[in-house]
Chains A and B, each alone.
Chain A
Amino acid sequence: MPNLYVTGSPAPASDFLARNGLRYGQIYGFATELATHRDTFHINATNGAKVSGKWLRGPWRWNGTVLPFIYDGSWDFQNQPVGYFGTNYTFWNGRGKNTRGAKMEHNSPGMLPPNFIFCFSL
């Protein structure tokens, strides 16, 4: 059945953002143990190349309270993912955490099964 809570109770219909899952959620970043940074990897990557990793999160989550940007989740990717401090897992930024990477521009969903993945162009 559509539009239900995990508890199975009926969902409200009146709040547009809540109805569409845009109030309560979590951002995950792709993290890997790979030492090669993302931009460097893509320069030499061939079609079909794969990177092992996990979708992991930082500590930030939108709670509905408007705060200055210095409190935003945009900073989380310079730290290790929650629960992975001290491991080799880091967020796979363009050029690590000490240098700006390439701009990330246009992403697109794979529309046909089983390719429910997405791709980025840099």
Chain B
Amino acid sequence: MAQIPGPTWAYRVVQIHPLLKCNLRCLHCYSTSSPDQLPTLSLERLCSALSLLHAEGYNGVGISGGEPLLYAELPSLLQHIRKLGMIATVTTNAMLVDDRRAAMLRQGTDLVAVSVDGVPESHNRMRAHPRAFERMIEGVAHLKHVGVPFGFIFTLTLHNLHELSWLAEFAVAQGAGLLQVHPLEEVGRATSKLSGCAPDALELARAFVEVARLQKQYTGSLTIQYDVADLELLCAKPERGYAVEPAVACGTTDTAAVPLADLIAPIIIEADGAIVPLQYNFSRTYQIGNINTDGLTGQIQAWKRNNFHQFLALCRSVYDRLPQPAATEYPFVNWYGEVLQASHAVQSNVRPDPTRISGFGLQIATPAIHEACNDLSGNA
């Protein structure tokens, strides 16, 4: 029975947001986390869900939040993931890392991903904290001291590509093994704080050239991962974007018999326990289950039987809208963002606006939109 490869192929990730509490209120936060947020997921429910999802074929767990270091049960959660034999990564702002927490992360994770948003001034502005960069470096020093493998995650906007080379040099100097470049999506707090700042198709294309240049420069020192889809690959292999018929993809019409991880990855456990496909804040129309509701096995089986085809239809609709690579000057797309937007558009019967999120042609920003970005870019 074939696995639908999706965007990350053999690496099938469960992303967990055990809490939305954070020590920061970052401008780009897709989960709108803050110090005021309260809900947390119970360790027992999480461990039970992960055991089940491991049996369903998932082999990796990513932990975010909020700030995961504020989740009191994090050591126990990581221990459980280790027992299951799954790969564990934690995404953090690193400001709360001390030697004790670093030692805990050394025991329980395969890699710690530290969010860094450019040069110190840009980072502090995005983090809405004047000492965020300084305290991030202190946290990274603790990670290095105890030998935790770590990488940096950079959020690419319409305005900060020129800082990527600085960040690559910084990453190498700090001993990071990985620099991951994620395109900004205008969801969560970014909807209001960073309106119009998502990179458009032109910026994504320029970023690809810059990433390739930097990867050549830092060969052997740093791996740079650019997390957008190349239309050349995506159009040639629609299964990479889940644009397939269920029977063709799975080799059977009985999708209930197929492990969930073979059908879809990543999946996200949101802070209220809901399991959704692909991305935080995915339309609940496609919800797979809820770990806080008993009978998760049955929920998953029901989703496979009754809802999986809807999810595939959604992905096919996104695929059908993609320009052919030969017909576009800018052949890169934030695929996750496109599917997320489509999930909500289908629910509300609103036709998705292809210029709102990067991917198709130039996004023509008005002066009003750039007014909103002035604080971020530092330009008047």
Same assembly:
no
